[in-house]
Chains A and B, each alone.
Chain A
């Protein structure tokens, strides 16, 4: 158990819908990262937050957004979902040594 929690574990929805994925970092970690894992793209960095502020952006679509709240949990919002958005979405948090610990992931299926 990495100490990073993610909910829900599985999500099945339809095209055009909007979903919210939730992540709680390890106690004491201020940075949260979101990654997407798909068969065709592999593991890709989406976005990073540090203590509530956006720190870095990767290959994140405009239909996707995220935020980090004062209690440091983070949410990833995916809207206007397409079939190609089906993937595993991982959240990670890092300590001051830049060790990144991953949550168990949310498996999103868009039908």
Chain B
């Protein structure tokens, strides 16, 4: 079945850029998403990219998609302590409806 993989942990210094990576297996994925989850909170939709795009920029966030390698990344510029959270990558399987398949999440720690 579909599988989405992420590294578990990333630590950066405040003001640096963060890059969170994700790989997926379903080549028919139509949309790929990034969500943020702060402690005790729900999932906040940060951004998403359609599978026919290779890049999307939204303020401090840049999403890169490499369809050939099935690799997705989220770059956060000028990372702040408020960016500390768990980041989830998710995809919608193109041939099975619109439900999301999530990766295990990457915990981002931002040190002052």
Contact = CB atoms under 8 A, between A and B. Distances in A.
B35 to A, nearest CB: 8
B42 A2 contact: yes
A105 interface: yes
Contacts of A105: 42
A48 B35 CA distance: 19
B55 interface: no
Nearest to A33: B99
Interface stretch (A12-20, A68-76, A77-85, A95-103): A95-103
A33 B90 CA distance: 14
B99 A58 contact: yes
Given A98-B92, A99-B48, A102-B43, A43 B99 contact: no
Interface stretch (B16-24, B67-75, B100-108): B100-108
Interface residues of B, number: 23
Contacts of A48: 97-99
B45 A101 contact: yes
B48 A45 contact: no
B45 A99 contact: yes
Nearest to A46: B99
A49 B44 CA distance: 21
B97 A98 contact: no
B44 A2 contact: yes
Contacts of A99: 45, 48
A43 B97 CA distance: 17
